[in-house]
Amino acid sequence: MSMRKIYRELARKHGVSAKEVRQEMQAALTEAYTDPQNNNEITKAYQNRMPRQGEIPTPEEAVRYLAGKVRQNRA
């Protein structure tokens, strides 16, 4: 499933735009990676598992990583 389709589906379910879905996902990721309360070794270790180009993953990077983890756990 394409990211565009994922955004559209979530937007339809929640009565918002696809753009807003992506913005909210990015805001949640930014919060998770910058919140001082998440500045402990365990949280950082989990965050560092997610492949990303920059300091904070994009929604697309997060979905790809998490979808892979779900597939692994099903096997």
What residues have CB less than 8 Å from 22, skipping those under 6 apart? 7, 59
For residue 75, pLDDT beyond 80: no
- Asked if 52 and 66 count as a contact pair (C-beta separation under 8 A), the reply is no
> Using one digit for the tens of pLDDT, what is the confidence trace for 57-73?
999 999 999 999 999 98
- Asked if 3 and 9 count as a contact pair (C-beta separation under 8 A), the reply is no
Global model pTM greater than 0.85:
yes
The residue ranges of every structural domain in the chain are 3-74
> Using one digit for the tens of pLDDT, what is the confidence trace for 22-61?
999 999 999 999 998 888 899 999 999 999 999 999 999 9
Average pLDDT (19-23) is: 97
**Residue-by-residue DSSP string for 25-70:** HHHHHHHHHH-GGG-SHHHHHHHHHS--SSSS--HHHHHHHHHHHH
